[in-house]
Amino acid sequence: MNYLDLSKDELAKERARVLKEYEKLKALKLNLNMARGKPSIEQLNLSRGLLDVINSESCCTLKDGTDCLNYGVLDGIPEIKELFAPVLGVAPNQIFVGGNSSLSMMFDIISFFMTRGVPGFEPWTRQGKIKFLCPCPGYDRHFAILEHFNIEAIPVPMTITGPDMGIVENLVAKDRTIKGIFCVPKYSNPQGITYSDETVKRFSALPHLAGDFRIFWDNAYAIHDLSDTPARLLNIMDECEKNGTQDLPLIFCSTSKITFPGAGVAFLGASKKNLSAIKNFYSAKTIGFDKINQLRHVRYFKDYRGLLSHMKKHQDILKPKFDLVTNALKSEFSGNKIISFTDPTGGYFISVDVMPGCAKRVVALCKNIGLILTDAGATFPYGIDKKDSNIRLAPSCPTLDELNVAIYAFCVAVKLATLEKLLES
Amino acid sequence: MNYLDLSKDELAKERARVLKEYEKLKALKLNLNMARGKPSIEQLNLSRGLLDVINSESCCTLKDGTDCLNYGVLDGIPEIKELFAPVLGVAPNQIFVGGNSSLSMMFDIISFFMTRGVPGFEPWTRQGKIKFLCPCPGYDRHFAILEHFNIEAIPVPMTITGPDMGIVENLVAKDRTIKGIFCVPKYSNPQGITYSDETVKRFSALPHLAGDFRIFWDNAYAIHDLSDTPARLLNIMDECEKNGTQDLPLIFCSTSKITFPGAGVAFLGASKKNLSAIKNFYSAKTIGFDKINQLRHVRYFKDYRGLLSHMKKHQDILKPKFDLVTNALKSEFSGNKIISFTDPTGGYFISVDVMPGCAKRVVALCKNIGLILTDAGATFPYGIDKKDSNIRLAPSCPTLDELNVAIYAFCVAVKLATLEKLLES
């Protein structure tokens, strides 16, 4: 049944039917959450061995003589740079290892650039109003950083090959106040889109007017595949080096969704020039980050192959959940053209577009029956989705049984909201 | 022998004698370091049990249901707030638990105030040139934060009861651009001075013109006693609450010198108003800090008594080192009034004042024979000790045998530099 083909009477009848389903769900007093990209307990258990590799008997002295139990080493231990170099796609000596959060590093670096400036340029705070580009839908916590610093966020539409590069190029070529762009280039949050080779190449040759423009390349899902034929992201640093634009990208990743969220390790990959400035800024902020935890990660994974085989275990847990959700959406909306959604081969999210004007209502209807979703609008700067259409689903945390109920409840809410909308017009 | 009573001839003769001692030391090709307040390997070993209390079999779920292995809890787990409340001298609900570094939290909070302002006030960046007071000699990393943010550091002389409060009161009462002061109120860095009750009371009633003035109360050595009759620091929050000035202090401490430097936990104690604003700022920067490491500390120490008995073990290791240094200084300079030094009952440093114009030369002479000291001047903002007199000694890291040689070498260097100075005048 395609709601778009129904008469008002048919719509009203269908609404009555769906409302009954909704009331039944309400009676179940559900307590379900698909709001955040949280790993499940099963996934967390994959990394419990990390808690054994260093104990009171362990030698924590590195090859270079560093005692990981004591002060020192601002930019991270060499062993973990080696391990994560292939994840970041840069050489080990192009890596700064931070604390437990890549988000926090992005915040810090923007703070450094605001206060002290990109190396060779005036601090951003002394340049008047500045702006960042935000491919949308995107990650709410990127937008929150910009709001904190009062940096204007300019939405740029996403396409299936990444941000609309025509728009990006046009804007940064003309406007000196645009200082950066937030990208999640692989399995983007929330759509799961991987930037095409052409998109990466165009980023590496971006005709930017502001010399202190930087690409915040948040490769959060670099090795977070849901398929045995994973998406392949072109190495942006390689491309930039070909073009002499190696100072453009700042590449981030972390182990938040590899080992333990909040108790992992975050990384920055950057050109020598950027790295040296950032290291200098960090030297005013801290003596160093948690080297014991860095060493734990090295001893647990041993090498890149160990890391990838660990990620395969995450995939085995996550794939059935994503399949369940996308299959339910396909089957519930078969022929009913009131919804579109992504079917990603990696990452943590499924992005759903409902009929314009319905997203907020869907999220509210879900909340009312005990299913928490990401707030409608959260995938856009300032929480404003002009179409009120995009909803982000995070299937990782609930069990398969819970997901079964949650996605059914979601579909009922989408139908109800859409019927209401169609009836009011 | 008091050098100040000697004739030029006698001085020259003594210099020849001391130079020989110096040359002998040089021949030993020493490799000693008294520069930083680093715990020794023996001290680090005290905390190795911390690495066993959580392993792959551990339940990491808290009483309130929080899974420490997953995302969540921005401001720290309740259990560690409870444990460290008596260290900070505030209620558990007045605590924000940060990452591994209290220095980093001070940096963050100044960054927040620069960008967004103290709650209820304009951001500091929009108020033109601003200033901080810096009791001197003081901690070089405090000064580095101010330099990073281009905040002018105004030196305030230390007395044996803390900063000269007459000067502090006079300055902050008149100057709206003075926004803060850095204090190490117990066993101050580098002098080991504990602020008197009167000093704390005067801080709690500070007649500050700037409503957004804050006291950065870096209580780094809160429980780091070297004596069984430790210094007692009046609780600043209690005093402030009596005066209705509870928004003035921001109280910091960390476990860097309790467990593992760099792999510990940092804390902020503050009024509800300050805490709520700071928590809000941090929510733009991170999802949360390392809860597993917080839980480790809780399970290892169990309670405040456990923490104090652990600190007693540090004391047992540190006290002989401090005694060795102060005894050597006393004996080497008995009757020779060319030096004064502190004999602290806690903390990590001994502060030495040599004859004006000699500190840089002493540090250089030491370096030349393989003994690294904190740079002369480091204890003053911008590295400028106008008198060129203060030197900070950090006796914690070397072994007793090493210290024996190091302090002898230091004394020889002090004598040589002083003789040079006396001979040139």
Sign of CA dihedral A266, A272, A277, A279: positive
Spell out which residues of chain B touch residue A70, defining contact as CB-CB under 8 Å: 38-39, 41, 44, 260-262
For residues A145-171, average pLDDT: 98
pLDDT at B248: 98
Which chain B residues have a beta carbon less than 8 Å from that of A43?
none
- Per-residue confidence at A307, pLDDT binned at 50, 70, 90? very high
For chain A, how many residues are written?
425
Return the H-helix or E-strand segment holding B413.
helix B400-424
Q: Which residues contact B58 (CB under 8 A, 6 or more apart)?
A: A51
Looking at beta carbons, which residues of chain A come within 8 Å of B284? 107, 144-145, 147-148
Contacts of A289 in chain B (CB under 8 A): 99-100, 262
Q: Taking 90 as the threshold, does the pLDDT of residue A304 lie above it? A: yes
Chain A residues within 8 A of B67 when measuring between CB atoms = 41, 44
Chain B residue with the nearest C-alpha to that of A262: B290
Q: DSSP states of B301-328 as a string?
A: H-SHHHHHHHHHHHHHHHHHHHHHHHHH
Quickly tell me which residue has 């690495």 as its tokens.
B51
Two tokens, residue B19? 């130079």
Of the candidates B58, B68, B115, the beta carbon closest to that of A114 is on B115
Sequential pLDDT tens for chain B (425 residues): 899 999 999 999 999 999 999 999 999 999 999 999 999 999 999 999 999 999 999 999 999 999 999 999 999 999 999 999 999 999 999 999 999 999 999 999 999 999 999 999 999 999 999 999 999 999 999 999 999 999 999 999 999 999 999 999 999 999 999 999 999 999 999 999 999 999 999 999 999 999 999 999 999 999 999 998 999 999 999 999 999 999 999 999 999 999 999 999 999 999 999 999 999 999 999 999 999 999 999 999 999 999 999 999 999 999 999 999 999 999 999 999 999 999 999 999 999 999 999 999 999 999 999 999 999 999 999 999 999 999 999 999 999 999 999 999 999 999 999 999 999 97
Residue B357: C-alpha distances to residues B229, B363, B411, B419, B424 (Å): 37, 12, 16, 12, 12
Contact B268, B98 (CB under 8 A): yes
Give percent of chain B above pLDDT 90: 99
Inter-residue long-range contacts of A146-154, CB under 8 Å, 24+ positions, other chains counted: A146/A381, A147/A381, A147/A382, A147/B284, A148/A107, A148/B115, A148/B116, A148/B281, A148/B284, A148/B285, A149/A110, A149/A111, A149/A114, A149/B115, A150/B115, A151/A110, A151/A124, A151/A179, A153/A381, A153/A382, A154/A178, A154/A381
State how far residue A11 is from chain B, nearest Cα, in angstroms.
42
Instruction: Name the residue with tokens 């304009």.
Output: B122
Min distance B287 CA to chain A CA atoms (Å): 7
List, for residues A252-273, the tens digit of each pLDDT value: 999 999 999 999 999 999 999 9
Q: Please provide the DSSP assignment of A368-389 as one string.
A: HTTEEEPPTTTTSGGG--TTS-
Say yes or no to pLDDT of A240 above 90: yes
pLDDT confidence of residue A425? 79
Bond preceding residue A190 cis, omega within 30 of 0:
yes
- Among B273, B307, B237, B295, which residue's Cα sits nearest to residue B88? B237
At B291 the pLDDT is 98
Burial code (b: 16+ CB inside 10 Å, e: under 16) for A216-250 equals bbbbbbbbbbbeeebbebbebbebbeeeebbbbbb
Q: Estimate the share of chain B in helix, then strand, then coil, as percent rounded to the nearest 5.
A: 45, 15, 40
> Minimal Cα–Cα distance from A309 to chain B, Å?
19
Whether pLDDT at A60 is above 90: yes
The structure tokens listed for A410 are 């979601």
Mean pLDDT over A387-415 rounds to: 97
Contact A69 B149 (CB under 8 A): no
Query: Containing H/E element for A204?
Result: helix A197-204
pLDDT at A389: 98
- Which residues in chain A have Cβ-Cβ distances shorter than 8 Å to B104? 285-286
pLDDT number for residue A399: 97
Q: In chain A, which residue's Cα lies nearest the Cα of B50? A: A56
Q: Is the pTM of this model over 0.95?
A: yes
Question: Could you give the ipTM of this predicted complex?
Answer: 0.97
> Rounded to a whole number, what is the distance in Å from the CA of B261 to chain A's nearest CA?
5
Q: Using the beta-carbon criterion (under 8 Å), do B70 and A260 form an inter-chain contact?
A: yes
Say how far apart CA A385 and CA A375 lie, in whole Å. 11
Reference B368, options B34, B21, B26, B36; nearest CA is B26
B344: its two tokens: 């602290």
Contacts by residues B333-341 (CB-CB < 8 Å, ≥ 24 positions apart): B333/B411, B333/B414, B335/B1, B335/B2, B336/B1, B336/B2, B336/B3, B337/B2, B337/B3, B337/B4, B338/B2, B338/B3, B338/B4, B338/B414, B338/B415, B338/B418, B339/B414, B339/B418
Which candidate in B97, B286, B296 is best for mutational testing of the A interface (most A CBs within 10 A)? B286
Q: What is the pLDDT of residues B286-344, one digit of tens each?
A: 999 999 999 999 999 999 999 999 999 999 999 999 999 999 999 999 999 999 999 99
What is the rounded distance in angstroms from the CA atom of residue A347 to the CA atom of residue A314?
11
**Residue A125 is nearest to which of B99, B125, B290, comparing CB atoms?**
B125
Give chain A positions within 8 Å (CB) of B283.
Answer: 144
- The single-letter DSSP state of residue A224 is -
Give pLDDT, residue B425.
Answer: 79
